[in-house]
Amino acid sequence: MTKTIGIIGGGQLGMMIAQAAAQMGVGCICLDPSEDAPAASVCKRHIVAAFDDMAALDELCRASDVVTYEFENVPAEILRTLDDKYHIKQGIAPLCDSQDRLREKTRAVESGLECPRFADITDIDSLRLNAEAFGYPCVLKTRRLGYDGHGQKVIRSRDDIADAAAMLSVPCILEEFVRYDYETSVIMVGDQQCGYIHFPIGRNIHTGGILDLSVVPAPGMDDDMRRRLAEGSEAFMRHNGYRGIMAIEYFVCGGRFLFNEMAPRPHNSGHYTIEGCSTSQYRELCRYLLGLPLEEPQLKAPAVMKNILGQDLDSAVGIAAERHPDTFVHLYGKSESRPKRKMGHITFVDCDIERYDAQWRDKFVKQ
């Protein structure tokens, strides 16, 4: 197989896409403004350019048989001009919708998923009115460019309204504050023609708005909840005509699950699939892009994925040197380490949360 996959973005997700493609005998080209982008070490070519550089994007697309994107904030307006000319197999609809919190939640409700209550916020009067309707606390978020806890503020009382209004220089959305039992995510690949595959569903544990652990299978989740999550997520993709890979994060509240957000690219919570499943999210995305039959993944053993931020990098390097069985350390090769920057991940296979707590938790910085 001699096809080439073009990747807009060169971060760790692009790196793992390129690694999966290489195992299939397929080369990748990435475009990223950072000269030391993680994917550059794996791709056969790295175009160093801004994401809105039309000449560079044209160059990437012309050199590729199929094109994908590895993070949500690639400018969708730019991609519109490329969508008709080149083979962007996933299309840009899921990317455009994921870039706007109001639009993605509207799409979710229209497809039959339940969301926390939300409202478009245009000024301080609409903020005050809807905050009173939702009750306190509630959460004000920017409609665009929010991730890992950025671009949001919890409003705990009427006294916080004036301070929160400083965010209204950009379009915002107000959301009901949800007291949930736990968070989970559903990752799937496919389209209406070839059908969909679903990866085993885990439980996600966040710290400071950033994913810390994914535990698979999700402790305490019964088969009925897993089935309803998978069916609801597939209906969401079908209703909106989304294609390719999709990750949807949910809040689980008793027997209910509430849509939180979507990501039309490989997901942090799915890193465990590389060693923990019979096939990974990266491999199945590549198979989809190349028009190959998809393989339904099977969980090999319980797994815990630990996100490695800058403060835990030294610990991860030490664990890698110890070569523990069923312990897989992935370091992304980023040149600068910062306390909350994602520097790698570790997947502990044949490990549940109790074993992780007993054997591994104390190895990392307590957050």
pLDDT digits (tens, 9 = 90+) for 85-94: 888 999 989 9
Asked if 192 and 64 sit in the same domain, the reply is no
pLDDT in tens, 134-154: 999 999 999 987 555 568 899
Number of domains within the chain: 3
Residue 15 belongs to a domain: yes
- pTM for the whole structure: 0.94
Do 78 and 149 share a structural domain? no
**CATH number of domain containing 17:** 3.40.50.20
Asked if the peptide bond before residue 137 counts as cis, ω within 30 degrees of 0, the response is: yes
Tokens read off for 109: 């409700």
pLDDT of residue 148: 52
- Both 168 and 189 in a single domain? no
Query: How much is the mean pLDDT over the chain?
Result: 94
User: pLDDT band for position 193 (50/70/90)?
Assistant: very high
Cβ pair 256, 179 in contact under 8 A: no
For residues 27, 33, 39 and 41, what is the CA-based torsion angle, rounded to 10 degrees? 90
Average of per-residue pLDDT across 254-281: 97
Q: Is residue 99 a part of any domain in this protein?
A: no
The residue-averaged pLDDT of 332-360 equals: 95
Residues 217 and 314 in one domain: yes
Quote the domain boundaries for residue 127.
117-176
CATH number, position 238: 3.30.470.20
| Residues 260 and 358 placed together within one structural domain of the fold | yes
pLDDT for the residue 146 = 59
Among 54, 51, 67, 55, residue whose Cα is nearest residue 3: 67
Are 274 and 340 within one domain? yes
What's the farthest any 2 CA atoms get from each other in the chain? 62
355 lies in some domain = yes
